[in-house]
Amino acid sequence: MYVLGVCDRGAGDDALERVVDRLVDRLEREGRVGVVRYDATIADGMQAHDSLTVGGDVSYDLGADGDWTASGTGMTIGSVVDQLAVDCDYAVVVGVDGLRHPTVVVGADGETAGAAEVDDEDDDRVIAAVEAPGDLDPDAVLAALEDCDPYETLESLVDRVKRSPKAERSGAIATFTGRVRAKDDANDARTQYLEFEKYEGIAEERMAALETDLESRDGVLEVELYHRTGVVEDGEDIVFVVVLAGHRGEAFRTVEDGINRLKDEVPLFKKEVTVDDEFWVHERS
């Protein structure tokens, strides 16, 4: 699933919603769309960037007409996006500035209207900035969005292998989840986040080749590998390996080999930021 933020920097609610409508209309021609809206006004002292924590009002629906909707103060943007990842091809998050996903800005002063490759000095996640709804080029936004990394969860990957045509031959699904640990030792400086960069083009090729090689094993039916890039904070998930297999033995062995080979063969570079320091891990290896 691809996640797209749409936020207002001075255009007003009407212009924002018109941009959202145009984007959803375009994305629905490609697949299922979930629309997520956030309103911080009902949360005491809540700021817009706090929308990833519990508070405010989060609602979401499927499609432009919202044939199914859920809302509540106990949800977060992150938890809702995770739910949509199982069933949707796209999620459009409305009203959150500073989202850690590709974003369209509406009403940004000084930006070039209609451009899909905006160089925003304040936020490199901005893929388009428009002064008014009529300036939007939905096709260019779609192309720029699909040049970015998709968003996956363990649940979305497991659901995908369960829907495989080979699933009827499967008796096992094994998974591995790697996450950011705060400390290796009680006396270590706490890790705030990791930041991952990939060797563009090569990393994707190596990942696809590794999946194909693992799937060629006897008894292995489907393999899904996924590694996040960008900032991944303390406690968040980094990497998933999901194996659909005939029996548990080959499933477990392939999961272990999959994560070991991913770390060895796929060119991904990790920067660690602690409360005391920051460094690229490969430079200290």
Rg of the chain taking only CA atoms, in angstroms: 20
- Whose CA is closest to 269, among 234, 238, 229? 229
pLDDT (0 to 100) of residue 123: 66
- Give the angle 230-233-234 at the CA atoms, nearest 5°: 150
Confidence of residue 78 (pLDDT cuts 50, 70, 90): confident
Specify the pLDDT at position 56: 40
- Contact of 9 with 109, CB cutoff 8 Å: yes
Is 95:42 a contact under the CB 8 Å cutoff?
Answer: no
Instruction: Share the mean pLDDT of the chain.
Output: 84
- CA pair distance 209, 283, nearest whole angstrom: 27
Higher pLDDT, 66 or 200: 200
In degrees rounded to 5, what are phi and psi of residue 242? -130, 125
Q: Mean pLDDT lowest for which of 31-40, 41-50, 77-86?
A: 41-50
Query: Residue 92 pLDDT more than 50?
Result: yes
In the block, tokens 């145009």 appear at: 22
Q: At residue 30, what is the residue type?
A: E
d(Cα 10, Cα 255) in Å, to the nearest integer? 49
The token pair at 78 is: 């992150």
User: For residue 272, what is the enclosing H or E element?
Assistant: strand 268-274
Q: Which domains does the chain have, with CATH numbers?
A: 2-146 (3.40.50), 154-283 (3.90.1170.40)
Phi then psi for residue 181, to 5 deg, are -95, 145
Q: pLDDT digits over 102-130, tens only?
A: 999 999 654 443 344 444 444 678 999 99
Tokens of 149: 């990394």
DSSP reduced 3-state for 195? strand
Summarize the confidence of residues 23-48 as an average pLDDT.
72
42: phi then psi, degrees, rounded to nearest 5: -90, -5
Average pLDDT over residues 242-263: 98
- CA 142, chain centre distance (Å): 16
CB 270 within 8 A of CB 239: no
User: What residues contact 207, with CB distance under 8 A and at least 6 apart?
Assistant: 225, 227, 262, 266
Q: Which residue has the tokens 């094994």?
A: 174
Q: Which of 88-92, 152-156, 177-181, 211-215 has the lowest mean pLDDT?
A: 88-92
Q: Give the residue with greater pLDDT, 49 vs 79.
A: 79
Cβ(247)–Cβ(220) below 8 Å: no
pLDDT of residue 109: 58
